[in-house]
Chains A and B, each alone.
Chain A
Amino acid sequence: MNYNFNWSVIWRNWDAFLNALLLGLGMAILSLLIGCVLGLLLAYARTSTSKWLQWSSWAYVEVIRNTPLLLLVFMCYFVLPEFGIRFLDKVESFILTLSLYAGAYMAEVFRAGLSSIPKQYVEAAKSIGMRPWQRQRWVVLPVMFRITLPALSNNLISLFKDTSLAAAIAVPELTFTARQVNANTFRVMESWLTASLLYLVTCYAIALALRAVERRYASIR
């Protein structure tokens, strides 16, 4: 292979790449937050006493986890408008998709977290006279957050990588930008290597940052 690299193409489009990266990160973080709320609700539904809630939570998680994300993206983007749900733009529709997707994964994480909280904690909280919602707020949720933190960071990294699928509906994120640059300049190696490296570095940075957070919070004393 004798390929003459010409990186000037990348410097010329550097702003586009950087904005694309930030857009992807933003979409991933927002989806994780919304997904956390959804996942928490699903986990509570799963551990509730009502059969109906249990079953619907299970069905939701199974369906979302066994459906290709690209299909979900198209569902939100093409099918919802048919039902009068018109989004302001593509980015919002994609964030909705990713949130629904993240919710299903977070539900599993939180369910495991809820079931791994030692019984004594709840007992102790009861014994000092905490109300049920106080128990959740001051005992169950903080402990669960610490237990599930590693899984949360893995999920954030996965979600960041999944934002690449927004390229399919022409959201100008990293993959789409690389494809555009590739199409405009025919510099195949430069565009894709840049995208790959930006993804790699960002994933690594997220991992490092969250490892620091984990060290700070992970131990339950």
Chain B
Amino acid sequence: MERGTFLYEVWVARWSLLSGFGITVSSAVLTIIIASLLGMIFGIALTYGWRPLRWLIRLYVDMLRGIPVLVLILFAYYGLSLFKINVPPFWAGVIALGAFSTAHIAETIRGGIQSLPHGQTEAAKSIGLQFHQTLAYVIIPLATRRVLPPWMNTCAEIVKNTTLLSIIGVVEFLLSNQQAIARNYMVLQFYLFATGVYLLINFTISQFGAMLERRFAHLRY
């Protein structure tokens, strides 16, 4: 390990880089879980919900899709304390990312449900399934299979959006690289390194998505 080489510098900054990687992955995973659950509920409510509720959710979704995610993150960071919610920047960021991605996933799921052929629900009715059974055994499985590709895209988007947490001072992977750069001025090496790692994360996600698509191929029609 020669002093002053890139590998040596990575070794020096290893703990900071690893913790940054951990923060990136954990914020992404948390956001994906929150956004997927809420997005599913919102998406179903958008299609089958009580009308005023539908309007409310529609308003929420349209508003959040028209605002940049960075604005939401900064708003949460500066504004949550006004609501007597005192959280560290990490959580402010995750809340903002979650709210933003929820809107996107809700819209995806609504599209997925509405693109299902009518015959599927008709058939479920004709064999005497209740509405909640139809939802659980027909609509959700089929729609899930249908929205897998855009949902995976959203997951990759979420991983990319976690870099914005660095702007509110959360030391995620990008910021940990920048801190390393501040020490040794190896601009190109460290940015390329960061790019490579993000590519790897997103490549893993898309491989995982492809695997899910193969596994649930029987749900295509």
Contacts and interface: CB of A to CB of B under 8 A. Distances in A.
**Secondary structure at chain B's binding surface: helix, strand, loop or mixed?**
helix
Nearest to A158: B68
Interface stretch (A43-51, A65-73, A110-118): A65-73
Interface string B168-204: 0000001000100100000110010011001100110
B67 A200 contact: yes
Interface in B68-102: 68-71, 74-75, 78-79, 82-84
B66 interface: yes
Interface string A11-38: 0000000000000000000000000000
A18 to B, nearest CB: 17
What size tier do the contact residues of chain B reach?
35 or more
A175 B75 CA distance: 10
A147 B144 CA distance: 28
Interface in A180-204: 182, 188-189, 192, 195-196, 199-200, 203-204
B134 interface: no
B160 interface: yes
Contacts of A196: 67, 71, 75
B71 A175 contact: yes
Contact of B84 (A1, A69, A75, A164): A1
B164 interface: yes
Contacts of B164: 70, 165
Given A167-B70, A175-B71, A74 B198 contact: no
A71 B187 CA distance: 12
B161 interface: yes
A63 interface: yes
B67 A161 contact: yes
Contact of B163 (A71, A78, A162, A195): A71
Contacts of B162: 68
Q: Which of B63, B74, B82, B160 has the most CB of A within 10 A?
A: B74
B156 A66 contact: yes
A157 B163 CA distance: 21
B209 to A, nearest CB: 13
A168 interface: yes
A120 to B, nearest CB: 28
Contacts of A167: 70, 167
B133 to A, nearest CB: 37
Nearest to B159: A68
A75 B191 contact: yes
Q: Which of B63, B67, B188, B202 has the most CB of A within 10 A?
A: B67
A196 B96 CA distance: 13
A201 to B, nearest CB: 8
A133 interface: no
B26 interface: no
Interface of B: 63, 66-71, 74-75, 78-79, 82-84, 156, 159-164, 166-167, 174, 178, 181, 187-188, 191, 194-195, 198-199, 202-203
25 contacts: A1-B82, A1-B83, A66-B199, A66-B203, A67-B198, A68-B160, A69-B160, A70-B164, A71-B191, A74-B178, A74-B191, A75-B195, A78-B191, A79-B187, A161-B66, A161-B67, A161-B68, A163-B68, A165-B164, A175-B68, A178-B71, A188-B78, A192-B75, A199-B66, A200-B66
